[in-house]
Amino acid sequence: MQTKRIYSDESGEGQEILRAIRHSRVGITPESPLAFNEEEMSWSDFFNGLFADTLMPHFIHINQLVSQECLKSVIVQDENFLDDLPEKLSDRLRAGSESVFAAREGARGMRFLRKLKEKSSNCSFTVAFVVNLSGFNIPLANGIISYAFMEWMAGKNRRRFPLENISECEKLFFNESQQCSEKITKVLAKHLSNSQIVA
């Protein structure tokens, strides 16, 4: 499995990940925690638990539906997903989606996101963020890392953290996400074929 090309550029310095995070989050500033809240649990417990077991599989499934432009299926799957979550988490994820819609209001290449807002403005942040990523053609694995960063940032109230310096980003995010790439690879392998993972 050619996992390295997913997570870093040819130099191996992680610039592709940084680029993915920077492009995907421009203007998106959730006003409160999403699913992760450091007052409720540690980042490690969240990432290895709820994120890996529940949020990431939903992210992957929605990404597949978005690539097929199946808006109705996206909405149905997301509603089922939210219904299965504790109400507190569901409410926070619903509230967070507005930050994505507001950031991309009138932006080019966001036709599917506009349709999603028209049909299901109360969707989860997860779904809105996946659709947002599709507008930037960000690879799935880098998109998942970007989503993890958004959860981490909102849960730690670091919304305005500057990303110009990759070493700072690694120190504050990747150091708290030990074996992040390995975990994501395992979840991707469980839900996708190898060819889909490296595409």
CA pair distance 96, 153, nearest whole angstrom = 13
Across 60-69, 112-121, 128-137, 180-189, least confident range = 180-189
Domains within the chain, CATH numbers bracketed: 4-198 (1.10.4190)
pLDDT at residue 134, rounded to an integer = 85
CA distance 199 to 24: 19
pLDDT in tens, 64-119: 999 999 999 999 999 999 999 999 999 999 999 999 999 888 666 688 899 999 99
Residue 187 pLDDT grade (very low, low, confident, very high; cuts 50, 70, 90) = confident
Exposure string of 102-114, with b = 16+ CB inside 10 Å and e = fewer, is ebbeeeeebebbe
Instruction: Give 164's pLDDT tier (boundaries 50, 70, 90).
Output: low
